[in-house]
Amino acid sequence: MIAIGCDHAGCEMKRIIIETLSEKGWDFCDLGCNGEACDYPFIAEKVCTEIISGRCDMGILICGTGIGMSMAANKINGIRAAVCGDSFSAKYTRLHNNANVICLGARTIGCGLAVELADIFLNTNFEGGRHQRRIDMITNLEKKG
């Protein structure tokens, strides 16, 4: 199950991602918003809570640039969120960084590219190995914070 949420800037992109990737077999937990004005940290927390609890495996967050959502999500222990605007970043943030949330900018990329990036992100597995040591270092930084 994929947790997905957006602020008011990302409603159309969220709808298109859910429609397109549902056709490929992905199940989504839509955590809003649905057009009403809202604050992105609230949505980021809702999505990340679903991941940390284990109810969802990964997340997709959308705001105007993806940056605000990323900043908010990365304040939550256990979340590794990355803003992606290209396919290389979407692939390698999973492959090497084991990111569990992709953040997309509704005002910086088009919906077609957003679907492509989300698809790459969701279909790429963590490589592990030498990269796990760095993930462990990130986890240790969280414990210090």
**Segment 116-120 long-range contacts (CB within 8 Å, at least 24 positions apart):** 116/87, 117/84, 117/85, 117/86, 117/87, 117/90, 118/17, 118/21, 118/60, 118/90, 119/21, 119/24, 120/87, 120/90, 120/91
- Catalytic residue chosen out of the listed positions 29, 96, 111, 131: 96
Q: Is 96 annotated in the active site? A: yes
Residue of 11, 33, 38, 63 marked active site: 63
3-state helix, strand, coil in the chain (%, to 5): 50, 15, 35
- Six-digit token pair at 69? 């959502």
Residues annotated catalytic, as ranges = 63, 96
